[in-house]
Amino acid sequence: MNDTPSVAARIRDVKAQIADAAEKAGRRETDIRLLAVSKFHPASAVEQAIAAGHRDFGENRVQEAAGKYPLLKDRFPDLRLHLIGPLQTNKVRDAVALFDVIETLDRPKLAGALARERDKTGQCPDLLVQINTGEEPQKAGISPVTADEFIRKTSGTMGLPVVGVMCIPPVEDDPAPHFALLAEVARRHDLEVISMGMSADFEEAIYQGSTEVRLGTAIFGSRPDR
């Protein structure tokens, strides 16, 4: 007997927890998307999730995703791949070609590079603006102070397909006020997607209005070293 739960079993479990949290919050579970974060895990782990019917995946590096996902996307055209890590402008072309959603639009220079790539290729993934709710100097994301202007400029003047916001609260903080701040920005700009909540805090994120939780450890187990 192997008592390590399968990826399929873990997905079933977290979906039940999502449904519970949604019900407690008076929300519909169908309004919350589950993103399976497969960073560091091999394509074989992703295939187990696909076999269980899962289709939304998150990766935090362009290069790692480029090694894992093109074949899977050919075989499963309804697979949706989300970039949830920082994007360097020199990787914009690869990222636009590979990802269906880029959740880490966090600075004017990157917005400019995405707009140029869109003008060249006629293609741009859905975009989320990453907000550095804790104003941590080492963390990516636009400051909450300039977020409103940045969202107006990118989705308005530049015409980029900004559909939501994303945050990663400081690890040492109570995440609730960070989630509340992010949800408030989304409401102000009438943005549909609120990407917040990881394995340790997704239930709180759902209480605060998350429409997308990003779970790695809860689905694939602890990340292998590399």
Ligand X SMILES: *Cc1c(COP(=O)(O)O)cnc(C)c1O
Which residues contribute to the site for ligand X (CB under 6 A)?
37, 39, 60, 84-85, 168, 198-200, 214-218
Q: Which is nearer to ligand X, 96 or 218 (CB)?
A: 218
Nearest CB to ligand X, comparing residues 38 and 155: 38
Q: Which is nearer to ligand X, 84 or 114 (CB)?
A: 84
Least Å distance, CB 220 to ligand X, is 8
Nearest residue to 5 via CA among 35, 49, 41: 49
From the CB of 28, what's the least distance to ligand X, in Å? 23
Cβ closest to ligand X, residue 37 vs residue 98: 37
Shortest-Cβ-distance residue relative to ligand X: 216
* Residue 67 C-beta: closest distance to ligand X, Å: 17
* Shortest Å, Cβ 88 to ligand X: 16
Closest approach, Cβ 202 to ligand X, in A, equals 8
**208, 183 contact by CB (below 8 A):** yes
**Nearer CB in complex with ligand X: 50/215:** 215
